[in-house]
Homo-oligomer: A and B are copies of this chain.
Amino acid sequence: MSDTHTDVPSVLTAPLPIPVPLEEHRACPVTDVLRRAGDRWSVLIMILLGKRSYRFNELHRSIEGISQRMLTRTLRGLERDGLVSRTVHPSVPPTVEYDLTSLGRTFLGPLSTLADWAVLHDPDIAAARERHDAHSPH
């Protein structure tokens, strides 16, 4: 009923210097996080690790279509950003356990908000695309 005027105080509503300077959006924390979440595997991996911890090959088997290389690279990226922890158990053969860090777990909330929006409005987006593609000369 009252969604004609959503007044959410946020960094997004803060005033911006116009023109927006290059450095303002070249190294923007928001874009930074969105680019990580926007890659092909990070979110899926974080969803799995949100349920329990996984070993490397266990993740590999759990995600159809991911290559070893991309799994490694994505895990390294998430680990570098402090979202995922990597624990080596010195056994023979070695086993490596991946988990969400506490920082990683705090990310699941905002991510859920966005994910729910995406699923809820997916039909709208699909419809808009069909309309647009129908009118475009292709």
- Determine which residue in A48, A50, A65 has the highest number of CB atoms from chain B within 10 A of its CB, and name it: A65
For the complex with contacts A19-B63, A20-B62, A80-B129, 18 further pairs of A-B residues with Cβ separation under 8 Å are A8-B108, A10-B113, A11-B112, A12-B115, A13-B50, A16-B47, A24-B64, A25-B44, A29-B122, A33-B125, A36-B38, A81-B128, A82-B128, A82-B131, A103-B124, A110-B117, A111-B114, A113-B113
Listed by A's residue number, 19 A-B pairs whose Cβ atoms lie within 8 Å are A11-B112, A11-B115, A12-B115, A13-B50, A20-B48, A22-B65, A29-B122, A33-B114, A33-B117, A33-B125, A82-B124, A82-B127, A103-B121, A103-B128, A107-B117, A107-B121, A109-B113, A110-B116, A113-B113
